[in-house]
Structure 1
């Protein structure tokens, strides 16, 4: 009898530890002109869609605690990949518009994109000051990704 009760306690304890293998991320997605972006696809592992933003750009997703990268995609905006750091559970993302670059060299296009990318911390701070974002600085890491030329 004691062994079966002990086994039951261990089973319940291990089930609760399995449940805690997920974490919930909440946040908001806006464009670089401070407008919310509805319907942004939120993707992990480059292919698994785990959620979408609502009409005001807010989202709430559950992902594995081992997951350290989240991708945001929307038509007309550059894909945005972020790296999760520590216990960051409030994600506020700014996506940049994907322009039409006719009659420009690919190097020039990437320079223009990188210039817009470098302004994102200022845009994040402005969104915080206007009450759009809740945090003054993002708690995730984001690196510029070349889309049109290979810098690897």
Structure 2
């Protein structure tokens, strides 16, 4: 009888830990013109769709506690990768509109994109001042995803 009681207690304690391993994230997504973005897909692990934004750009998702990276994807918008901090549960994201660059090398395009990317924290503060966002500073780090990746021969040429 004692063994059964101990097993039941251990089982209930172990399943209690499973419930605590998911994390609720809520937030809002806007573009670099400070306009809301409806129906943005929200993904984890590069392929698992966990939700999308509503008509006003708001979202509410449940993700496993081990997940530290969220991807935001929409048509006409550049893919946005966000690394969450441990205490981050309110994610307010500014996404860049994608553009078409004719007659420019990929290296030059990435340079222009990176220049726009560096302005995103400033846009986040402006969105806060206008009342669009609740916080003036993001609780995550946003990664720049380059289109052009250097190969080994380019790196060797730069060093010489």
Do Structure 1 and Structure 2 share a fold, with TM-score over 0.5? Answer: yes
Query: By how many angstroms is 1:19 displaced?
Result: 1.0
How far did 1:136 drift? 0.8
Report the CA distance between 1:4 and its aligned residue.
2.9
Matched, 1:151 2:154: no
Structure 1 segment 70-149 matched on structure 2, within 5 A: 70-147=70-147, 149=148
1:36 aligns with 2:36: yes
Contact 2:80 2:143 survives alignment (8 Å): no
Moved more, 1-10 or 76-85: 1-10
Distance 2:36 2:7 in 1: 51
> Which structure 1 segments of 5+ residues have no match?
none
Q: TM-score, with normalisation over the residues of structure 1? A: 0.94
Highest CA radius of gyration, 1 or 2? 2
Per-residue deviation, 1:144: 1.6
Most deviating of 1-10 and 14-23: 1-10
Q: Count how many residue pairs are aligned between Structure 1 and Structure 2.
A: 151
1:31-59 Cα deviation digits (max 9, x unpaired):
00011101101111111111100011111
Gapped regions of structure 2 (runs ≥ 5): 152-160
